[in-house]
Structure 1
Amino acid sequence: MTAPVAVVITDGQPTDDWEQGFDTLSALPLFLRPWVVGFALGEDGYTDPLAHVVAPQLGVHKAIEENLAEMVTNVLRQLLG
């Protein structure tokens, strides 16, 4: 069974209470918790909040709009085999 995958794409500081949503996901049984893949959009995309929620072995990826779809596709292919 494969765990769900959540893709988070952001260009800056969170403007909501993301910690509460993340705590809800983290409280799920291990087999239901998603692997979180994070993309900071733009060369100045802020990565610190993403670093707290992504799977450590996946890291945070920086992307620009022109290559975002390709980057997401490549990372998901690597993750899902």
Structure 2
Amino acid sequence: MTREEMFSLGILRAGQEVQLVGMPASRATIVDARKVKYRGETMTFTAWAKSLTGWKGVNIFDKVELSTGERLGALRKKHLK
């Protein structure tokens, strides 16, 4: 299941807050299936995560969680059943 599918099913919604796992200061707001808004700037999930970690690549499903602490990968797995 992709983020687009999760968005169309209402699992992810515009306005939800996400953060990198263990980094509450990284909190961003979901804009759509591909983008978040962080400190007034809209960017892709990947660009946001890479800008905060300095990594060349980031597995969004493994490294991003809702502000409730539930990782995107766990949400995806839960709804695949």
TM over 0.5: no
Larger radius of gyration: 1
Greater fraction of residues in helix:
1
Q: TM-score, normalised by structure 1?
A: 0.29
Q: TM-score, normalised by structure 2?
A: 0.29
Greater fraction of residues in strand:
2
